[in-house]
Chains A and B, each alone.
Chain A
Amino acid sequence: MGASAAPSSTDLDTLALAVMVRETALAVPGVLGISAGRGFVEATYGRGAMVRGVGISSGERGVDVTIHLIIAQTPIPLLAFRVRQAIRHYLVSRTDLTSGSIDLYIDDMDMSVTPILEEDAV
């Protein structure tokens, strides 16, 4: 499912939102995959389906997101900034939801993957 298939805010359910958040995060350079979580399973559940590695909840400021990432060997603060920016941009531009906190868990780092260039950032 690509980011272009985002449903409108009116028919957006939590599961669809989790799918889109996952896809948005995966599109960020340096993010190699989504992990289900380590020691416990983070997931968003819906009717007959689940999205592993992404947690969606409603917080005081808006939608709170928790996401478990598998990343390339790259500066984490920069990557975290990019992922948050991408998810926040998606939430604001494609839905009428406001973004709350976005918690990122780096569950694995693939050191065989060439690090992305810092100059690409922002």
Chain B
Amino acid sequence: MNVLNRLIGILFFLIILILAIGTAGTITGLLTGHTVDQVYSYGPLHQSLNDLHHVQPHNTRIIAGAGAVLIAVLALLFLALELTPPRRERALTLSETIEGETTIGYDKLQKLAERASLDVAEVETAECSVRGDDGSVRVRCTATVNRFADATTVSAQVQAAIKQQLEHTLGRPVERVDVRTEPQRAGTRPRVR
């Protein structure tokens, strides 16, 4: 959504919020026609506010008041959503020098690690997470392997593959790679490579 759309959205919800609060205030008697006249004196508006305040039967007033409050809450919610800045993706800064900085999102590294895992024979599925604290890169991966494969060997191979791939791509050492292997469930179709 571009800036203009956001501004229009904010203005729209702000107007709805003000109208809803005004309606609720008029129905409950907190906002009277006399008070509004002090700010802006306009006959038809004064009449409308009086009509709204004395709307009959009583149940209609309660329903209108509750509706106004509900709309106000919704408008406030949407306004808050519009005003909340978009979340920046978590990213790893590879270098930060006078030349400039180079940054890559962790989700890309996660994809890369999963791809490296899947390149290992006997690995059926892989789910990885990559974290970086104080410049170091740490990977945690869960791989589903063929039931008949040696889990220890495959685990070591996955560990090596991830480490090599990430170090090759990032040009920096990967501090730690934790791999957990799970045997593939019986009856599950093997992955077609």
Enumerate chain A interface residues (CB-CB to B < 8 A).
Answer: 38-41, 61, 64-65, 73-78, 80, 84, 101-109, 111
Contacts and interface: CB of A to CB of B under 8 A. Distances in A.
B85 to A, nearest CB: 8
Given A73-B169, A76-B94, A77-B94, A106 B104 contact: yes
Nearest to A67: B100
Interface of B: 2, 86-89, 91, 94-95, 98-105, 108, 111-112, 115, 168-171
Contacts, number: 66
B156 to A, nearest CB: 23
B100 A76 contact: no
A77 B62 CA distance: 66
Contacts of B2: 41
Nearest to B92: A106
B96 to A, nearest CB: 9
Interface of A is mostly: mixed
Contact of A75 (B86, B105, B171): B171
Interface of B is mostly: mixed
Contacts of A84: 99-100
Contacts of B91: 105
Given A39-B89, A40-B86, A104 B111 contact: no
Contact of B108 (A39, A74, A108): A108
B94 A111 contact: no
B111 A75 contact: no
Contacts of B95: 77, 80
Given A101-B99, A102-B99, A76 B87 contact: no
B101 A103 contact: yes
Contacts of A41: 2
A57 to B, nearest CB: 12
A39 B107 CA distance: 13
B86 A39 contact: yes
A71 B2 CA distance: 26
Nearest to A106: B104
A38 B89 contact: yes
A111 B111 contact: yes
A87 B98 CA distance: 15
B105 A38 contact: yes
A34 B3 CA distance: 21
A101 B98 CA distance: 6
Top 7 A-B pairs, shortest CB-CB distance = A77-B171, A101-B100, A106-B104, A102-B100, A80-B102, A103-B100, A104-B102
Given A39-B86, A39-B87, A40-B88, A76 B111 contact: no
